[in-house]
Structure 1
Amino acid sequence: MGRVVVFVPADRGQPGTLRPMDEPPVMLRPRLLAAGWSDGELRRRRRSGELVAVGRGGYLPATDPRLVEAAAAHALRIESGEPLRADDSVVSHVSAAVVHGLPVWNLPLDRVHRTRDRRTGGRRTPTAHLHAAPLDAGEVTEVGGRLVTTVARTLADIGRTAGFEQVVVLADAALHRRLVDPEALQQALLRAAGWRGVPAARRALEFADHRAESVGESRSRVAIARAGLPVPHLQREVSSGQVWLGRVDFAWPGVVGEFDGRVKYGKYLRPGQDPGDAVFAEKQREDRIRDEGLRVVRWIWDELRRFGEVSERLRRALAGGR
C-alpha cells in the first residue's frame, strides 16, 4: 500500500498540517485471517467497539486518532478500498483533493470518489461514487504509489459540483503551495468545455489567488467580495520609514484588515515562547501599525458566518470613521 499524505485540519476547518498516513496501516481482512483471526472474532471486536470498519474489509483500533478527523478518516477509506473500485479507475474529485493534501473545508466526505475514462457506467452507493467521464493520461498523476487525478483536473471536477466558497478555499491553497498554476487551471477548464457546471467552476477558479495563506483568509476574500467591498491588496508589507512593521492580510488605502485565526499566532512563536507571548507580540505589532495612522479591523472564525457586522466596520473604516 502506498504512502498517503493528507491534510489534517487543526480545529473547526482551520488550517492544519500535512502528515503521512502510513503508520500503522489499515488492517485488511485477508491479512487478519491469514494471521489466525476469524470472522467471528472480527465481528465480536466490532460489536464491542474495539475495532472500527474502514472501507471494504479494513479495520483500525477505535483509539486510532485518524478516525477523529474527517479528512484523515477519508484517506483511510481510500487506502482500504471501496465496493465500487474498478481496475481502470483513479482516485478523483474530493478524494483526490484529500490525497493531494488540500484543505477540503465544508465538502462532503461520505463517499470515496473514483473516475474512469468511459462515457457511461457511473455508479453510486452511500459510501462510494464511480464516475464515468473522459480522462486523458495527462490528467492522471501518481501520489505515494496511488493514481489520482492531477490537481488541475481535481479542481475542475470539484468546481463543477461544489459551492463557490469551498472551491476558492481549495484553489487558493493549491496555488499558494504551487501545486498548480493558473494556466493549468485554464487548460483543465478548456478540456471540460460543454460539461455541466463548468461556468461555475470558471468563476471560482478565476477568483482564486495564490496570496491567500489559509482557509480563513480564503473565506474572508469571498465574504469581502459578497459584501460589495473594494477589492483589497493581499499580504501587504507595512513599514515606517526604514522600519518594517509587519505584513497584513488585507489592505485598503488607510485601512488594514486582519483575519484573526488562532493559528495565526504560531507565526510569532520563537523557541521557548508560549501562545501568550505570541498574542502579546501581535498586540504590539497592531499598535505599531495604528501608530502609522492606519485603521485596523479584525474578525474571527465565527464572524465569517455572519459577515454583515464586519463589513459595516470595514465600511466605516474606509470612510474614515472609527
Structure 2
Amino acid sequence: MDLRTRGRLLAEGYSERELRRMLRTGELCPVRPGAYVFGGAPPDLIARHLLQVRAACEQLSGHAVVSHASAAVVHGVALWAVPLDHVHVTRSRRSSGARRGRRVHVHCAALDADEVVMVDGLRVTSVERTLVDLARTVPFEQAVVAADSALHRHLTNRAALDLASARRSRLPGMPAARRALAFADARSASPGESRSRVVIARAGLPVPVLQWEVRTTSGLFVGRVDFGWPELRTVGEFDGRVKYGRELRPGRDPVEVLYEEKCREDELRAEDLGMVRWGWVDLDRFAPVAQRLRDRYRPC
C-alpha cells in the first residue's frame, strides 16, 4: 500500500476539507497521526504493523533503527503471541533516551555497523541482532518460534546466531536469550511445530527426531513426519490448518487431500508405528497428549 503523509497529500493539492471528507467516507485510512493509506487498512495484523513501521520511520530521526518485534516483521520472521501494538526502534546509545510512548517504543543500546542493515529502504537491525533482542525481551516459547522461523527460512544460520549471542553476552536478559537461541532448530517448519517442541521438552518426553523420514526395512520411503521416536516406534504430528493449506494447491479437492493423508497414516501404521496427533488447542494443555505418547512408546 502507498503510504502518504499529511504534508505530501497537501503538497499534491488536496485541501484540509477534502482530507476530512475522505477520512469520514473511508477513502483515506489513518495509519498513525499524520500518515494515511488510500482505502481500508489491510486486515492482516503483520501487514498493518509493517505500515505502522514505515509511518513511524517517516517521522523519527534517521538515527532510529527498526528493532525487536518490528524488525522481525520487516525481515519476514514468523511471530507467535508477540504484541505488535508498538513500533520498536533502537537508538545506538548505551543508556539515556529510552522511552515507551503510545505508539513507539524507543530502546537504547549499542549497535555496531554490521548489526544494521537496509531492508526495503528501512534501517533495520540484522536478523541475528533482532533474534537476540527478541529473545532477551519475550518469553522462551515466543523466542523459540521466532528463532526457528529465521533458521528454517535460511535468514540466518546456527553459527551466525551463536556468534551474535556470544557477542552481546553482557546485555540484560542474555541468560534467558541464550537458552532460547540454543534450543532453536531449523527443522521446525511452523510456529505450531516450534511450540510443540517446547511443550514436549517441558513434559519430560524423550527428544524427538524432527522431520523424520520413515522407510520400510527395504529402504522404500513411506513418509516424513513432524516428530519421530525411531527407537520407540512412535511418530507425532502437529495438525495445523496451515499444513493442509500448503497441500491444497489450486484445483485440488480438499477431500482428496484428507484422503491422501489418511492413506499416508495407514502406511505409517503398517510399519508398526504408533501415531499421536495434536493441534493448537492441545498445546496449552499438553499433559493428555504427553500421556498418549507414553502409552504408544514401544521400545524396539
The one of 211, 226, 249 equivalent to 1:249 is 226
The one-letter amino acid paired with 1:116 is R
Residues 48-197 of structure 1 mapped to structure 2, 5 A cutoff:
48-64=25-41, 66=42, 68-81=43-56, 85-119=60-94, 120-197=96-173
Kindly, what percent of the aligned residue pairs are identical?
A: 53
Match of 1:216 among 179, 192, 212: 192
Shift of residue 38 of structure 1?
2.3
Amino acid at match of 1:167: A
Q: Classify the secondary structure of the residue corresponding to 2:137.
A: coil
Letter matched to residue 97 of structure 1: A
| Normalised TM-score (structure 2) | 0.92
The CA distance in 2 between the partners of 1:39 and 1:81, in whole Å, is 22
Q: 2:213 aligns with which of 223, 237, 243?
A: 237
Any conservation in 2 of the 1:160–1:200 contact (CA below 8 Å)?
A: yes
The alpha carbon displacement at 1:129 in A equals 1.2
Measured after TM superposition, the shift of residue 166 of structure 1 is: 0.6
Q: Partner of 1:203 in structure 2?
A: 179
Q: Do the aligned partners of 2:29 and 2:40 also contact (CA within 8 Å) in 1?
A: no
Residue aligned with 1:211, SS: coil
For residues 24-43 of structure 1, the C-alpha deviation after alignment (integer angstroms, 9 at most, x for no partner) is 31122122112222233323
**Alpha carbons 2:2, 2:38 under 8 Å: kept:** no
1:288 to 246, 267, 274: 267
Q: Of 297, 300, 307, which aligns to 2:279?
A: 300
SS at match of 1:179: coil
CA shift for structure 1 position 63 = 3.0
For residues 201 and 127 of structure 2, the distance between their equivalents in structure 1, rounded to whole angstroms, comes to: 25
Look up the SS of the partner of 1:165 in the other structure. Answer: helix
Q: Which runs of 5+ in 2 are unaligned?
A: none
Q: 1:56 offset after TM fit, Å?
A: 4.1
* Counterpart code for 2:192: G
Distance 1:223 1:114 in 2: 32
Give the superposition deviation at 1:254: 0.5
**How far off is 1:218 after superposition?**
0.5
One-letter identity of the residue aligned with 1:32: L
| Shift of residue 51, structure 1, vs aligned partner | 3.0
Provide the TM-score with structure 1 as the length reference. Answer: 0.86
RMSD, matched Cα: 1.8
Cα displacement (A) at 1:271: 5.8
**Aligned residues of 2:26 and 2:40 also touching (Cα < 8 A):** no
Write the distance in 2 (CA, Å) between the matches of 1:38 and 1:125: 30
User: Cα offset for 1:234?
Assistant: 0.3
How big is the shift at 1:84? 7.0
Matched position secondary structure for 1:217: helix
Q: Distance in 1 between matches of 2:84 and 2:289?
A: 31
Q: How many angstroms does 1:213 deviate by?
A: 0.6
Asked if 1 retains the 8 angstrom alpha-carbon contact of 2:210 and 2:228, the reply is: yes
- In structure 2, relative to structure 1, the CA distance for the partners of 1:267 and 1:77 (3 Å cut) is closer
Contact 2:69/2:82 (<8 A) preserved: yes
| Residue-pair matches, total | 295
- Residue equivalent to 1:29: 6
Hey, what's the Cα distance between the residues in 1 that align with 2:48 and 2:144? 23
Which amino acid is 1:273 matched to? Answer: R
What CA distance in whole angstroms lies between the structure 2 residues aligned with 1:128 and 1:267? 35
Cα distance in 2 for partners of 1:70, 1:233 equals: 33
Helix, strand or coil at the partner of 1:160: helix
Contact 1:84 1:130 in 2 (8 A): no
Higher helix share: 2
Deviations 1:126-174 (A, max 9, x none): 1001111100001111111221000100000011110111110000011
